Amino acid sequence: MLEVVDPGLLSTIQDAGRPWAADQGVPRGGACDPLALRVLEQLVGGPAGSTAALEITLAGPELAVRETCVIGLSGADLECEVTEERRPLRPGTTALVRAGTTLRFGAARDGCRAYLSLAGGIDVPLVLGSRSTCSVGGFGGIDGEGRPIRAGDLLRPMKPGALGLAGRRWPGRAGGSVGASGSTVVRVVAGPHLDRFPKGSLEGLRSNSWEVSGRSDRMGIRLDGSALPVPARPDLVSIPVTWGAVQVPPSGQPIVLLADHQTVGGYPIVAVVASVDRPVLGQLRAGDAVRFEVVEAVLARRLKIASDAIFDADAAMFRTDASDATAG
């Protein structure tokens, strides 16, 4: 069990979200780096989709270990360390942490979101089929209250006795790393409103270089760069929108929707991020440079299927390693 000493910048409980509740106006929610969450589910032995993790943004919390337990980490490397032992904990691993020690975080090395979970997942209530924090609706997450963690909160494992989960290592990528350089290529397919835009808008999205604005959050990534041409009649009847939709408001500065996006939107959508690149999208930091590559939908689907196959192969290898460790 962990106790929050200092909450850091923004840490919320997330699992795979509530895609089934969008017709009630509920944001999908869930981990902004979905690959990191899937890796963590495997590492801590939690159920697919509803394993709760702490999504830690940029400046991590300080967590006191109150009862010896197993923690797992994935996503970006935010330099997590067991302070008293000067022991660094890396994404893609699990470790035993002893009562009386403290976890602290450092700089964001290759992304902005790290994920931390406990054996079996963090024990918070299911609300509408998910443990994710819905800030706007005030439900889900810690105590079901729809808020970030704060000092004094206790994070309890679903399987407190499962100390044998320590020392595991994920053999593949632990999330959508954007690297230290902060220059990232994101693949997109043509959007549903492309025919409304003046000629050259998609080309502009592709050829311009964009910078992630500091006004980005879990709802969307705002991009700064040379303004894209916008449709002559920008006032659309609102349509349902998805994670990855690239909206272009009248300013011409695109907004890429993330996991907490509103369910409907009225801005024209020039492109949609390929689902395979959602993990990378979720790791972009303010100031990072972004380029877009336009791909055919057929290729986007193949890339996603290939990426899922790699994950499955990693998972098979991981299970073999884990059972060897148990046998040995």
Partner 1 sequence: MIVPFGDEALLVVLGEVIDAAVNQQAHAVARGVRAARDESWHSPWGVPVPSYASVLVPYDAASIDEAEATRRLTALVARTARTAQASVEIEGPVQDIAVRYGNADGPDLETVADRTGLTTDQVIEAHASTVYTVYLLGFVPGFAYLGILPPELELPRRNEPRLRVPRGSVGIAGRQTAVYPFETPGGWHLIGRSDAVLWDSRRESPSLLRAGQRVRFVPEPRA
Contact 157, 234 (CB under 8 A): no
* Strands 62-65 vs 210-212: parallel, antiparallel or unpaired: unpaired
> Residue 192, interface with partner 1 (CB under 8 A)?
yes
Structure tokens at 12: 């919320």
Which of 9, 180, 185, 305 is in the footprint of partner 1 by CB under 8 A? 305
Which of 45, 72, 191, 282 is in the footprint of partner 1 by CB under 8 A? 191
Structure tokens at 286: 């303010």
Stretch that binds partner 1, among 1-9, 50-58, 165-173, 232-240 (CB under 8 A): 232-240
> Residue 301, interface with partner 1 (CB under 8 A)?
yes
Which of 65, 186, 255, 272 is in the footprint of partner 1 by CB under 8 A? 272
> Residue 126, interface with partner 1 (CB under 8 A)?
no
> Residue 20, interface with partner 1 (CB under 8 A)?
yes
Q: Which residues contact 31 (CB under 8 A, 6 or more apart)?
A: 14, 15, 16, 17, 37, 53, 55, 75, 113, 115, 259, 282
User: CA-CA distance, 146 to 141, in Å (whole number)?
Assistant: 5
Stretch that binds partner 1, among 50-58, 80-88, 130-138, 221-229 (CB under 8 A): 130-138
Contact 228, 270 (CB under 8 A): yes
Question: Least separation, in Å, of the C-beta of 128 and partner 1?
Answer: 6
Which of 43, 70, 71, 300 is in the footprint of partner 1 by CB under 8 A? 300
Q: Which of 186, 246, 8, 245 is nearest to 112 (CA)?
A: 8
Question: Least separation, in Å, of the C-beta of 211 and partner 1?
Answer: 24
Contact 13, 132 (CB under 8 A): yes
> Residue 313, interface with partner 1 (CB under 8 A)?
no
Q: Which of 84, 87, 115 is nearest to 12 (CA)?
A: 115
Which of 86, 199, 237, 328 is in the footprint of partner 1 by CB under 8 A? 237
By CB under 8 A, name the binding residues for partner 1: 19-27, 127-128, 134, 136-140, 144, 189-192, 236-242, 244-245, 262-264, 269, 272-275, 297-298, 300-301, 304-305, 308
